[in-house]
Every structure is written in structure tokens, then in C-alpha cells.
Amino acid sequence: MTITDNHTARVELARAAVEAAEARAAARVQAAEAQAKEDLDNLLKMIPAIGKSAARALDMAKGTIKYIAMPGIIFEELGLKYLGPIDGHNIGELIEVMASAKRLKGPIFIHVRTQKGKGYRFAENKPQDTRGFHQRHVA
């Protein structure tokens, strides 16, 4: 193993550790959000006369916002497990998501975002010329 390979491996390990820490933090935030939503719902229901109606209205508003703000919610409504969006150019992230998907049961939708032509200099410099049938200048 060369010094460059060793450095690259360390950078990848550090990046993976950061991503894992971010995932754990996101899971903690999701749990806290779920508890806060439940607490708010219970608090609203305690308001005399209008509490239950207010809780229902808030729940309907949350559903609408969820469709607008959360990618993939429609797939979950259709019974698909949604993973993504993920960076299709990040091999580590792709491997991690594929491994997670492999452990899940049932149909899964993996949303991968990529940049057209990434890694092909001609396509990166002139993306408008990479659609349709054109003569290609392979480098």
C-alpha cells in the first residue's frame, strides 16, 4: 500500500465515520420530533371545545406539508419503502444504502441523484451537446 492509498483509505474511513455520526444524530432528531408532535397533539386535544378540531386541522396540514416537503412520501403511501435521495456519485453512500435496502423486506424505491455526464469532460463542459444523436469526441 502506498502513502497515497493509505491517505485515501483514512479519508474514506473518516468520511464514513462522519456519515455514521450524522445518521445517528438524524435518528435522534426524528425520535425527538415524533415525541414533540405527540405532545403537541395531546396538548391541543386538552383545549375545551376546539381542541379535537384543532388537532385534526393540524394533522391535515401536516399531511399536506409532508407531500410538498418530503420526497418519496407518495411511494410510501403506495407501499414502497423509500430510500433517498442519495448522491449517485458517492460510492460509499451507494454501498451503504444498497446494504440497508438488502436487509429490508418488501418493495423498495431507491432515489439516486446524479449529474449527467459526470466524469466525461466533454459532457461536463458542454452538457447541451450530450443529448440526442451527435458526433462524440471521446478523450
pLDDT given for residue 123 in this prediction: 76
Q: What would the grid cell of residue 58 be?
A: 393540524
The structure's pTM equals 0.45
> Residue 25 corresponds to which cell in the numbers above?
444524530
pLDDT of residue 28: 65
pLDDT, averaged per 10 consecutive residues of the chain (139 residues), comes to 64 72 67 74 83 82 70 78 86 88 87 84 76 61
**pLDDT at residue 66, as a whole number:** 65
Res 131: pLDDT: 66
- Residue boundaries of the structural domains of the chain: 1-69, 71-139
What is the secondary structure of 38-78 as a DSSP string? HHHHHHHHTSTTTHHHHHHHHHHHHHHHHHHHSTTHHHHHT
- What is the structure's pLDDT at 108? 87
Q: CA-based diameter of the chain, in Å? A: 73
pLDDT, position 139: 60
Q: What is the pLDDT of residue 84?
A: 80
